[in-house]
Chain A
Amino acid sequence: MQPSRVDPLAAAHARSVVLVEDDAIVREQLVAAMRAAGIDVLAAVSGVARGYDAVVGTDPDVAVLDDRLPDGLGVDLCRRLAADRPGVRVVVHAAAMTTTEQRAALDAGAVAVVSKNVRPDALLHAVLCSPRQFPGRSGAGKVTPLRSVRPSDVRTKQA
């Protein structure tokens, strides 16, 4: 049996977010909603380039990416972040995506794809319940549970 790759300290509650959204109204509303939910919004920016810099600079638990940005696609930013910041959970926030596009976003390393809605509930749920990715592992699809991990598990895991 392999030792688990869970890093219990890193798996503490995911409560810091970088929001990448080009619509100012949506950005403002989402920032307000996330802060009201107790989430620490480290940065709220527009565009792929600024988004990348903000995520790399602040290293949030979660990055929320609009799927269509003025200078590129959220899915491409997601792929770069999955390679360069595998510890950051990416949630793609899409106005409209085909099933194939949703799949492409998940294959690019996104933890979840959330459809944009008038109420921010689904996005908040995705941010708060997104399982943590394994630290130190690049590439898509390495995640581990977030909320149930406790420091007491460390002993068990090292068997």
Chain B
Amino acid sequence: MSDDGPDAGRRLRGLVAANLAVTENLTLREVLSQIVESARDLLDSTYAALGVLGDDGRLAQFLHVGLDADAAARLGDLPRGHGILGLLIDDPRPLRLHDLGRHSASRGFPAHHPPMRSFIGVPIRVRDEVFGNIYLTDKRGGGPFTAEDEDLLVALAANAAVAVDHARLHDETTRARRREQASTRITTALLSEAASDEVLRMVLAEGRLLVDADDVHLARDADGGDLVVVRRHPGRPAFDAHEQETIDRFSEQVALAVGRARARDDRERVRLVAEHHRIARDMHDHVIGRLVGSGMAVHGLGRYITDPDGHRRLAAHLDDLDAAVRDLRTLIYGLDEDPAVVWSLPARVAQVVEEAAAHLGFTPGVTVDVTVALPVGSTVPEHLLGVLREALANVARHACARSVEVTVTCRADRVDLTVADDGTGPPQHRRAATTSGGHGLTNMADRAAALGGASSLCRNVSGGATLHWTAPLGGAVAGAEEGTADGGPG
């Protein structure tokens, strides 16, 4: 800065202002564009640009001013640092040219590139590493850039380096805080009760903050697997190793959110299927109801028919209708059979007792305590009723009893049957039990054994005998620990 004129003072003030501007608490990107603007103003050039070096030694970022957006769009790709721009990369020292097009390194301008003549470029060194370069072209007024211009630009670059370093730290701090916040929000979202697709949306949105990405979305790879796509706009730096680690962790969180969303979709599908099923069910019920109603009406008309042949034909039609109704029921509900009447267990117990009453000459007392529902499809009730029938038959044949009490108790894990009479008591010993009293007792024991239960016949203190028969509910297993005693001492 050899000039002492008013112009020198203006430029000095310009440099100070530029330095102030670039050392404010700005993000790196803001600092960089501030440097480009300041350099252009300071050196009075038409165009200014700043290239940031990437890991590959070429330009990873390129900021420019002086070229309007349309002209820039026509140019297409930003320069990567070949030709003249590459000179500074390969040899990071200030470079001034009168006519950059005539330099031996020049590769010429691409199509639509505005003509440029004078050129100056200086490197920006941050902590002994070349961060990038400032390039200015076409000094206003047509002359070349001067040595003084170079001094000014070098001074600006030195200060820019400090500002870049500062901004990097600032950016890093800001990013770290954002990462932490985004990470917290992702965890919160994953643990929340919000709808799964909403959680996924939130997680993907936070993912952008996590690694300062411009776009995060889900995609499918060629094999149909899920991909988390994390992208930055072209011209922005690639993800560094640390960020890639973060992205890896993030993708695991997305996988969780996707899993949740899928499970939710599945539940929704199940709900829809159930809903369709319900609608179909209502329709079938309605159809069956109509068929039955019409059939009953036709049946009722039978009393007006006097002709025997008419009655036969009516009966055939009613049989057809009945068969159709049964088919509908069995087909639609997947029933193996369509019993006309399904009795409750207490009712069946009562019916068995009722049958026996004729042989006993009196009606036994019955208590049926069903506090739990028997498992659907359990064979235990059939066995129990068989045992009850045999027990009552034995009492009728051998016991000379005047009263019998029958108790059936269903608990969560087992069914108990007792048949207590006031007759002559059980057979005196086992041999007698198996030979005379016997067939019944053996059958009862076999039924119990098949179910993993137990059977015993005991003498009552007050006279008579009591049969205890028990079977476990659910998953009947042969040879359970209770054993298979077919009779016991009184």
Contact = CB atoms under 8 A, between A and B. Distances in A.
Contacts of B358: 148
Interface stretch (A42-50, A53-61, A105-113): A105-113
Interface stretch (B86-94, B250-258, B341-349, B445-453): B341-349
A106 B402 contact: no
Interface in A96-154: 96-100, 102-104, 106-107, 110-122, 125-126, 129-132, 140-150, 153
A119 B322 contact: yes
- Chain A interface size band reads 35 or more
Contact of B405 (A4, A113, A122, A130): A4
A95 B365 contact: no
Interface in A1-54: 1-6, 23, 25-26, 28-30, 32
A73 to B, nearest CB: 12
A30 B296 contact: yes
Nearest to B281: A96
B294 A25 contact: yes
B346 A6 contact: no
Contacts of B342: 102, 106, 112-114
A153 B296 contact: no
B360 to A, nearest CB: 9
B151 interface: no
Interface string B151-171: 000000000000000000000
Nearest to A126: B341
Contact of A118 (B298, B328, B350): B298
A153 B285 CA distance: 46
Interface centre among B300, B346, B405 (most CB of A within 10 A): B346
Is the contact region of chain B dominated by helix, strand, or loop, or is it mixed?
A: helix
Contacts of A4: 364-366, 405
A60 to B, nearest CB: 17
A111 B329 contact: no
Interface stretch (B67-75, B368-376, B433-441, B475-483): B368-376
Nearest to A104: B373
B350 A112 contact: no
Nearest to A90: B344
Interface residues of B, number: 61
A117 B322 contact: yes
Nearest to A147: B354
B174 interface: no
Nearest to A4: B365
Interface stretch (B118-126, B194-202, B330-338): B330-338
B340 A118 contact: no
A111 B340 contact: no
Contact of B344 (A112, A114, A132, A147): A112
B321 interface: yes
B353 interface: yes
B401 to A, nearest CB: 10
A141 B420 contact: no
A117 B366 contact: no
B350 A143 contact: yes
A132 B347 CA distance: 8
A30 B299 CA distance: 11
A106 B365 contact: no
Interface in B287-311: 288-289, 291-300
Contact of B329 (A100, A103, A115): A115
Contact of B373 (A103, A111, A113): A103
A154 to B, nearest CB: 11
B376 A103 contact: yes
Given A116-B289, A129-B351, A2 B366 contact: no
B357 interface: yes
Contacts of B184: none
B362 A122 contact: no
Contact of B299 (A1, A118, A142): A118
21 contacts: A1-B462, A2-B365, A2-B407, A25-B296, A26-B289, A95-B288, A96-B285, A99-B333, A104-B373, A106-B345, A112-B343, A114-B342, A118-B292, A129-B351, A130-B347, A140-B346, A140-B370, A141-B368, A142-B346, A144-B365, A145-B357
A-B CB proximity, top 8 nearest: A4-B365, A118-B295, A131-B350, A141-B370, A122-B340, A145-B354, A29-B296, A148-B357
Interface of B: 284-285, 288-289, 291-300, 318, 321-322, 325-326, 328-329, 332-333, 335, 338-347, 349-351, 353-354, 357-358, 362-370, 373-374, 376-377, 402-403, 405, 407, 420, 422, 462
Given A95-B292, A125-B341, 20 more contacts: A1-B403, A23-B289, A23-B293, A25-B293, A25-B294, A29-B296, A29-B297, A30-B296, A96-B288, A96-B328, A106-B345, A113-B341, A117-B292, A140-B370, A143-B344, A143-B347, A143-B349, A145-B350, A145-B357, A145-B363
Interface of A: 1-6, 23, 25-26, 28-30, 32, 68, 95-100, 102-104, 106-107, 110-122, 125-126, 129-132, 140-150, 153, 156-157, 159
